[in-house]
């Protein structure tokens, strides 16, 4: 195996070691990544990286003699901790991506954390508490990780959490359908000398494939109890909790500490390095000296940095370097690969004694589906087709419940108007709260339908395939293939999408992805799109909506290309992405996801949007004039008279009208009047407020609700200036408005997240300035070009 250290380390950890069978499955379109199958998992690599892996034929492999196997267990006295009998147990969930860890967390705690069938869903720890069997449990859902190296931020986070927070019990969640790959992480937990329980998750898939696994024997062999679970159905959860209590109380006889025997020569090196480390008692009180010795032999920089504080670090460092040199000369292989091979040798030997399975078919279900969905020619068109279906369904299916909500709001408005006395309170209720929040609430069905389709793609495993298909294109624009997952998450909300960039190893890749995520149209912008498309593009709503989303993606790619050639000039990092097996999305997970978004949306309406609506109404209601007279404005070039009502005059002379007229000159070249300008300004905290502001500004004179907001926009005319009597909203102006909303100023939450994740306020300010400047320029071009065409 060739390649630099981090790539080599990651590849060996995922199973690319001597003696493992590798199958080439397919090539991505446009000479993109290559899909391989190893250890029953599908993994993608770029062509340049695949060339670094040497693969030999079965015939050549048969001529090679494997290294002698020297045993696996160093028997020790049963380990018992002298712990006070407490009733609070701190649990950390640790496991590979896609092993069902977050699903288990949700079931244990009653939480609704998002579950996706691709890596990088959990990018931070989630904490929840619950009481059961007389104990109080604090449970932490840690990021999915393949190992405990310092290769990526999530791996480093998990290791730091275990060593610094010292949870009482580690529940190692394992995908039962892929034991060999998942148990690699288990071997590192064994090295750490901590209390571990294995949740043998997705056990139903093991049974369905007619695989017999003697997990009790393996548990006795490695000193860790196994509990079969099906977290998606809640099976085995009570047994898992009961076993946790037994291990915590030192009542489980299986639990003992073992040493994985890495062979005589490696064990000799470990012993020498450990003897030096043990001189530092403070560090070995918290971390296993054996684990630290192994990490030093793997050239782990974080371990070296941790030990560098101690007086004898030079002695430790020189000893480890000498032993690394000796081992590498002896095995003719770098030390980290030697240790990885030994770990997989331990796993293979253990499974050989405990696992029996029938002959595997040449192609499993996922392979057959992938033959179509990731086809070299059909894969990309199918991806575009699925996106179009999503946007078409979002608009068309949402039209019916939208109408029901509109009728309900109209009924409430009529009741308030008929039975409440005139006055400021009635005006605030009808023209402020009901019109403002109701205009946003009506788009809830569209958002739910969008998240329904996104959940289907995420939970089924298709989203990882989309990243596989898109890597070559993204690579040409200077983006890393793994950036695709945060970008797609941005369609839901930009804030968690920016946080998901933590899965990117290169800081430049992370920052670049953060800065272009705002181009992904979050669900907050969807009400604006649906409102304007309903009013001005009713013939092809799905196509127009899809065009907006794809325009955002194109702008993100083009911006990334410019930034990558100017600010960042990122060093290329490997593209290694697991392709998880396809799984049938559960109705429960989809409903929970949709319900969670419903709650968030309703809380937003009852919180920031309601406050914004009241502020907008107050700015439009005050100051009140004692006498308001209707005036007639007549255009010099026309005999048509436009009567300006007292309500319209009041709105124009209000504080809101004054603000609007102040900023209108800047927005007038885009075809925007003062009301449109104020709406955009109000949308800075949250984009939904644009619609609620329009609901307040475009009112009916009699306070009735017989006309929908799209109809009000269609009928809006200029009441002053050179354009008096002309329509405010033309097709060019509507298009320019949509593009401006797509691009301009991310919401306050996104700006704060960019600042926190990048660590610098300057990038947050840069995001505000460059997106708004680009929005003005593109909206100007769209408006002027559209006028010439139409």
pLDDT digits (tens, 9 = 90+) for 176-224: 888 888 999 999 999 988 899 999 998 988 888 888 899 999 999 999 9
Whole-number pLDDT of residue 700: 58
pTM of the model: 0.70
The residues facing 201 across adjacent strands are 175
The answer, yes or no, to whether residue 366 has pLDDT greater than 60, is yes
CB atoms inside a 10 Å sphere around CB 776: 18
CA-to-CA distance for 528 and 56, rounded, in angstroms? 57
The answer, yes or no, to whether residue 631 has pLDDT greater than 50, is no
CA-to-CA distance for 610 and 613, rounded, in angstroms? 5
CA-to-CA distance for 260 and 755, rounded, in angstroms? 44
Whether the CB-CB separation of 22 and 16 falls below 8 Å is answered with yes
Longest Cα separation, the chain: 104
- Name, of 96-100, 226-230, 452-456, the range with top average pLDDT: 226-230
pLDDT above 90 covers what percent of the chain? 27
The least confident of 440-444, 546-550, 568-572, 665-669 is 568-572
Token output for 251: 């009542």
Whether the CB-CB separation of 513 and 483 falls below 8 Å is answered with yes
CB atoms inside a 10 Å sphere around CB 106: 22
Give the residue among 79, 83, 6 at the shortest CA–CA distance from 49: 6
Give the residue among 234, 209, 221 at the shortest CA–CA distance from 183: 221
Total number of residues shown for the chain? 790
3-state secondary structure of 201: strand
Confidence of residue 638 (pLDDT cuts 50, 70, 90): very low
Average pLDDT score, the chain = 82
Distance of CA 552 to the CA centre of its chain: 18
The answer, yes or no, to whether residue 8 has pLDDT greater than 60, is yes
CA-to-CA distance for 34 and 374, rounded, in angstroms? 11
Confidence of residue 165 (pLDDT cuts 50, 70, 90): confident
For residues 676 and 53, the model is more confident at: 676
Give the residue among 410, 392, 507 at the shortest CA–CA distance from 450: 392
Give the residue among 485, 538, 534, 493 at the shortest CA–CA distance from 513: 485
Whole-number pLDDT of residue 641: 46
Whole-number pLDDT of residue 77: 38
β pairing state of 355-357 and 631-634: unpaired
For residues 376 and 662, the model is more confident at: 662
H helix runs in 278-334, sequence order: 281-286, 289-297, 301-307, 313-331
β pairing state of 135-141 and 88-95: parallel
DSSP 43: E
Tokens 């449109």: give the residue: 676
Whole-number pLDDT of residue 205: 84
Token output for 268: 């000799």
Confidence of residue 76 (pLDDT cuts 50, 70, 90): very low
**Euclidean distance between the first and the last CA atom of the chain, given in angstroms as a whole number:** 61
């Amino acid at each position: 195996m060739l390649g630099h250290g981090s790539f080599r380390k990651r590849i060996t950890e995922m199973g690319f070691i001597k003696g493992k069978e590798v199958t080439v499955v397919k090539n991505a379109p446009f000479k993109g990544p290559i899909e391989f199958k190893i250890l029953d998992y599908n993994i993608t690599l770029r062509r340049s990286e695949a060339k670094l892996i040497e693969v030999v034929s079965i015939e050549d492999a048969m001529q090679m003699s494997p290294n002698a196997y020297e045993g696996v267990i160093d028997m020790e006295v049963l380990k018992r901790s002298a712990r006070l009998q407490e009733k609070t147990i701190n649990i950390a969930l640790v496991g590979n991506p896609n092993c069902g860890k977050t699903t288990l967390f949700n079931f244990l705690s009653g939480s609704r954390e998002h579950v996706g069938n691709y890596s990088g869903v959990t990018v931070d720890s989630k904490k929840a508490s619950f009481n059961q069997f007389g104990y109080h449990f604090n449970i932490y859902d840690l990021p999915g990780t393949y190992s405990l190296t310092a290769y990526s931020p999530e791996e480093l986070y998990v290791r730091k959490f275990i060593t610094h927070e010292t949870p009482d019990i580690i529940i190692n969640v394992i995908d039962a359908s892929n034991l060999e790959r998942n148990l690699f992480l288990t071997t590192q937990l064994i090295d750490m000398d901590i209390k571990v329980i294995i949740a043998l998750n997705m056990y139903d898939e093991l049974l369905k494939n007619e695989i017999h696994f003697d997990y009790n024997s393996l548990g006795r062999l490695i000193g860790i109890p196994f509990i079969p679970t099906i977290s998606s159905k809640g099976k085995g959860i009570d047994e898992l909790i009961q076993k946790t209590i037994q291990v915590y109380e030192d009542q489980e006889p299986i639990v003992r500490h073992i040493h994985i025997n890495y062979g005589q020569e490696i064990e000799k090196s470990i012993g020498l390095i450990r003897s030096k480390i043990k001189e530092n008692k403070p560090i070995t009180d918290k971390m296993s000296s054996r684990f630290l010795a192994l990490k030093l032999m793997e050239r782990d920089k974080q371990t070296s940095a941790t030990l560098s504080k101690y007086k004898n670090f030079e002695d430790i460092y020189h000893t480890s370097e000498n032993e690394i040199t000796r081992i590498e000369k002896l095995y003719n292989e770098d030390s980290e690969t030697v240790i990885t091979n030994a770990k997989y040798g331990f796993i293979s030997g253990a499974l050989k004694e405990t696992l029996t399975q029938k002959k595997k078919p040449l192609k499993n279900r996922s392979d057959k589906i992938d033959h179509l969905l990731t086809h070299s020619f059909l894969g990309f068109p199918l991806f575009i087709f699925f996106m179009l279906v999503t946007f078409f369904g979002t608009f068309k299916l949402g039209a019916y419940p939208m109408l029901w909500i509109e009728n309900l709001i109209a009924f409430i408005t009529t009741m308030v108007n008929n039975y409440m006395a005139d006055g400021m309170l009635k005006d605030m209720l009808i023209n402020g709260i009901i019109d403002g929040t109701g205009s946003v609430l009506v788009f809830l069905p569209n958002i739910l339908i969008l998240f329904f389709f996104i959940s289907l793609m995420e939970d089924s495993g298709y989203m990882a395939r989309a990243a596989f298909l898109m890597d070559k294109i993204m690579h040409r624009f200077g983006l890393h293939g793994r950036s695709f997952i945060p970008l797609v998450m941005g369609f839901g909300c930009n804030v968690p999408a920016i946080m998901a960039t933590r899965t990117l190893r290169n800081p430049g890749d992370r920052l670049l992805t953060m800065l272009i995520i705002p181009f992904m149209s979050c669900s907050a912008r969807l009400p604006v799109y649906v409102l304007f498309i309903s009013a001005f593009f009713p013939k092809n709503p799905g196509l127009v909506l899809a065009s907006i989303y794809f325009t955002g993606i194109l702008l993100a790619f083009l911006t990334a290309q410019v930034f990558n050639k100017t600010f960042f000039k990122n060093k290329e990092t490997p593209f290694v992405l697991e392709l998880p097996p396809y799984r049938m999305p559960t109705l429960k997970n989809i409903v929970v996801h949709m319900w969670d978004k419903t709650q968030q949306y309703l809380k937003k309406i009852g919180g920031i949007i309601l406050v914004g609506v009241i502020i907008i109404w107050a700015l439009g209601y005050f100051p009140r004039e004692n006498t308001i007279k209707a005036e007639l404005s007549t255009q010099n070039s026309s005999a048509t008279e436009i009567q300006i009502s007292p309500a319209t005059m009041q709105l124009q002379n209000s504080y809101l009208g004054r603000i609007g007229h102040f900023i209108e000159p800047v927005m007038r070249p885009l075809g925007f009047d003062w009301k449109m300008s104020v709406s955009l300004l109000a949308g800075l905290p949250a984009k939904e407020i644009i619609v609620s502001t329009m609901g307040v500004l475009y009112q009916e004179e009699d306070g009735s609700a017989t006309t929908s907001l799209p109809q009000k926009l269609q009928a809006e005319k200029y009441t002053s200036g050179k354009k008096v009597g002309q329509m405010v909203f033309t097709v060019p102006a509507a298009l320019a408005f949509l593009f401006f909303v797509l691009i301009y100023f991310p919401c306050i939450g996104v700006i704060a997240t960019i600042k926190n994740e990048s660590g610098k306020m300057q990038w947050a300010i840069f995001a505000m300035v460059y997106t708004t400047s680009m929005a003005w320029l593109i909206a100007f071009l769209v408006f002027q070009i559209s006028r010439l065409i139409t």
